[in-house]
Amino acid sequence: MLTLLSTFLSFLMGGLPKLLDAFQDRADKKHEIQLAQMQTERELQLLQAGYVAQQHIEEIKLDEIKTQTQSAEKVSLIDAQKAEMNAIYAHDIAIGQGASPWMVNYRTGVRPTITYGFFGLLMLVEIGLFLYGWNRGVEFNILANMLWDDETQALFAAIISFHFGGRAFGK
């Protein structure tokens, strides 16, 4: 159970920004619905006054506004993503100026290095403990249950989720 919980939480941490974006999108859509309701009320008032031609013009204007709003939202989202990526790239370039090529290349491998390091450490400890127990005559089933317990499974799942969870949400 602990393994599933830690895996789930580690995986979701990479997706927290997308979750916050979803809440913002929901608020934006709620505002658009309110605007549409106000427009509908206005159209009903115009109908009651007998302005049918005006209603048709208002429908055309409303459709135009909706199209412009949707286009503007998409363009602003793309522009925001471009600006964010450009700022990240500019920051990375600024940090890397004057640094050795080895250090610049190493910076790009921080996440994999951390993942491989923790995985290697976990395997080193597990193999060492297995060999120690095996040489002392402990049965394989007992060794396997002692070495691959709930805590070890949770640790392994957290390491894997850290690496692949960040990559999945980054796409």
Domains of the chain by residue range: 22-99, 109-171
> In the prediction, which pLDDT does 14 show?
63
**Which residues does 106 contact at the CB level (< 8 Å), separation at least 6?**
113
Position 164 pLDDT exceeds 60: yes
Tell me how many helices (H) and strands (E) the chain has.
Answer: 7, 0
pTM score, two decimals? 0.41
CA distances (Å), origin 167, targets 88, 116, 160, 171: 17, 15, 11, 7
Please write the tens of the pLDDT for every residue from 35-82: 888 888 887 776 776 666 666 777 888 888 888 888 888 888 888 888
Instruction: Provide the pLDDT confidence category of residue 171 given band limits of 50, 70 and 90.
Output: very low
Please, which pLDDT band fits residue 95 given cuts at 50, 70 and 90?
confident
Q: For residue 7, give the nearest of 156, 168, 169 by alpha carbon.
A: 156
Write down the pLDDT at residue 135: 93
**Higher pLDDT, residue 82 or 165:** 82
